[in-house]
Amino acid sequence: MNNFLQFAELCDALAATTRKLEKRALMVAYLKELSVEDAGRAALYLSGTVFAETDPRVLNVGGSLLSKAVTQLSGADRNAMHAAYRQHGDFGAASQDLLHSQSALRAVLTLAQVEEAFTAIAAASGPAAKLTLLLDLLGHAIPIEAKYLIKLMTGDMRTGVKQSLVEEAIAHAYGAEINAVRRAVMLHGNLPEVVGMVASGRLHEARMKLFHPLGFMLASPVESVEEALGRFAQEVLAPSTGSGQAPRAGAPLGADAAEIEQNPEIALLEAQIEDKYDGIRAQLHCGDADDPERVVLFSRNREDVSASFPELVEAFAGIGEPAILDGEILAWNSVGQQALPFSTLQQRLGRKRVKHQMREQTPVVFMAFDILYLNGVLLLEQPLSERRAALEALAHRIAASTQRVSTRGQANLFVLEDARQNFSRIVLAPAIRLRSGEQLDAAYEQARARGNEGVMLKSLNSIYQPGRRGLAWLKLKRELATLDVIVTGAEFGNGRRASVLSDYTFAIRDGEELKNVGKAYSGLTDAEIAELTDFFKAHTLEDFGTFRTVEPLIVLEVAFNNVMRSSRHASGFALRFPRILRIRTDKPVSEIDTLERVEEIYNSQPDRPVES
């Protein structure tokens, strides 16, 4: 049965509705008509992934290779490719138009054949071999099938379906309990295998498997001590609302709701505070019984980043205890026992090979602040106070073994003789108990003085909820400053913003010159973006297709996390995480901020890099 066409048609129907229940009903009806094996494949593809979370294979097929395949099959030139993409803002949809000549083909692809093709592409070595397989797969696809094959390979389905909704559809299709399905997927990490368990009534057999990322629990942002106290008190007053705390009887230390509302500081008696570090949030998996030396680091977007930090893999390879830790990868000053600025860590990011010299220049540690799994026991439902005790005990047991880094392969040719490199690679995030708002304010200032972003306020009763953001965890991080800047360039966006100029390059003044200092694309409404698009089209100086320089007439106020030295911009600086606060129609160009102001903000940062 040519069921990949049915899959593609289902995806079109899913993208056409915004109603969650309608999406779920469409998926339920589709899954019921499939064999269990095909239902497993379809569930995986509906969630937008080619391989299961526990499957280490990757396609390694980028946009360039896909573009080459579509060009060869369609005969379209560069202008036609660009026009199709501009129209849709999505390469899959653009390819459906470009491959219209394949409409006469008979739909023959099955879900099993697509799975076989993905397996072959992942195994193929080199662009030429992968291109041959891509041409064969896409060459047998009618346009709508090609659209969703490409969307799957780029991980950009745009059907409005998340894995959680697919899990609901599975439960409804097979008459299972939704939470049981979700727990099995979380534990097992392999959606097709879970479909098999659901269909055969074996959900109870699901067991935790290491080396697939669990969702990260997130914190809600607050910008002042007063806001932190108010919101945290709400959480203590309503512990069973599902926002992050484990239900319990009674208010803290005998206080009732009226007392807490009158004096929110009472809520701090059930809180701990940690520094908020400026590194890479990561989940560390290690100690599998079948492969004791295997260690994997997952980033917040669930990517395997182990290759960028080989010394952490080496350090945790021999600890001998199956564990999942939540924490932050930090560049580290082992002499001062202090985190280094994020800009120091940046050169390590995205590297598949880290040279010995880089390991020496930018040493890293795993700053652990939570433990999710240990020695066969999942700890998510235990309160933070108990998880913290387990984490402290584990860190004490393994600290010495993570100090003895055993390099592998050619790295054995080099000996780390520098004592500054020989230190424990697990650092336990300091956590203190709070008593007052004044103490919280002081803790924030002390964290900034140490070069960290701010502080985290966590309820000692909070359970760990993967992927959830509630009031049980708060992050206090004040805006560093704002700048009034002038837009010098505008770029077309992606997706639904492909037809509007939504990405803005901006500058500050340096005497009579304008010097670029950053780029922002968030913070404005759709109506404001549409209005600016018309304005910039009418005030374009140079048009380079997707990007154009514009007359410096629009002033924006932007916020940001910090300022870094950068050779990317003429100003010599770059803003980290800039976001637009408003359009300053009240401010003339002559009054925008200056390079001197940027330098002043840069020098005021306690976490700025030490300059030679």
Q: What is the pLDDT of residue 316?
A: 96
CA distance 416 to 529: 53
Taking the alpha carbons of 389, 390, 396, 402 in that order, is the dihedral positive or negative? negative
Q: What is the pLDDT of residue 299?
A: 93
Catalytic: which of 130, 276, 458, 515?
Answer: 276
How confident is the model over 482-541, as pLDDT tens digits? Answer: 899 999 999 998 877 888 999 999 999 998 899 999 999 999 999 999 999 999 999 999
Question: Which band of pLDDT confidence, cut at 50, 70 and 90, is reported for residue 273?
Answer: very high
Comparing 1-5, 97-101, 249-253, 576-580, the range with the smallest average pLDDT is 249-253
Give Cα separations from 18 to 5, 15, 91, 593 (angstroms).
Answer: 22, 7, 22, 43
Q: Give domain status of residue 609, yes or no.
A: no
Where does a domain end: 134, 154, 174? Answer: 154
Q: Give domain status of residue 361, yes or no.
A: yes
Does 507 share its domain with 417?
A: no
Q: Give domain status of residue 610, yes or no.
A: no
Which residues partner with 295 through β-bridges?
286
Q: Give domain status of residue 453, yes or no.
A: no
Q: What is the pLDDT of residue 455?
A: 94
Q: Give domain status of residue 62, yes or no.
A: yes
CA distance 424 to 315: 8
Does 148 share its domain with 7?
A: yes
Does 402 share its domain with 509?
A: no
Q: Give domain status of residue 246, yes or no.
A: no
Give the domain range for residue 508: 482-604
Where does a domain end: 98, 133, 154? Answer: 154
- State the CATH number of the domain containing residue 28: 1.10.3260.10
Tell me the pLDDT of the chain averaged across its residues.
88
Where does a domain end: 154, 175, 200? Answer: 154
Q: Give domain status of residue 91, yes or no.
A: yes
- State the CATH number of the domain containing residue 586: 2.40.50.140
Look at residue 49 and tell me whether its pLDDT is greater than 80: yes
CB 101: neighbour CB atoms within 10 A? 11
Does 290 share its domain with 376?
A: yes
Cβ-contact 284, 297 below 8 angstroms: yes
Residue type, 382: Q
Q: Give domain status of residue 577, yes or no.
A: yes
CA distance 32 to 39: 8
Comparing 142-156, 320-334, 578-592, the range with the smallest average pLDDT is 578-592
Look at residue 419 and tell me whether its pLDDT is greater than 60: no
Residue type, 580: I
Does 37 share its domain with 111?
A: yes
Q: What is the pLDDT of residue 237?
A: 64
- State the CATH number of the domain containing residue 319: 3.30.470.30
% of the chain at pLDDT higher than 90 = 61
Does 491 share its domain with 567?
A: yes
Which helix or strand (DSSP H or E) is residue 83 part of? helix 78-88
Q: What is the dihedral of CA 420, 421, 424, 430, to 10 degrees?
A: 60
Does 416 share its domain with 505?
A: no
Planar angle of CA 406, 279, 594, nearest 5 degrees: 140
Question: Which band of pLDDT confidence, cut at 50, 70 and 90, is reported for residue 251?
Answer: very low
Question: Which band of pLDDT confidence, cut at 50, 70 and 90, is reported for residue 73?
Answer: very high
Does 500 share its domain with 417?
A: no
Of 107-111, 246-250, 288-292, give the range with the top mean pLDDT.
Answer: 107-111
Does 418 share its domain with 502?
A: no
Q: What is the pLDDT of residue 497?
A: 86
How confident is the model over 403-416, as pLDDT tens digits? Answer: 866 554 444 444 44
Does 539 share its domain with 419?
A: no
Cβ-contact 486, 542 below 8 angstroms: no
355 is catalytic: no
Residue 105: phi and psi, rounded to 5, are: -70, 155
Query: Does the pTM of the predicted model rise above 0.85?
Result: no
Q: How many domains does the chain have?
A: 3
Does 287 share its domain with 421?
A: yes
Does 411 share its domain with 493?
A: no
How confident is the model over 144-189, as pLDDT tens digits? Answer: 999 999 999 998 899 999 999 999 999 999 999 999 999 999 999 9
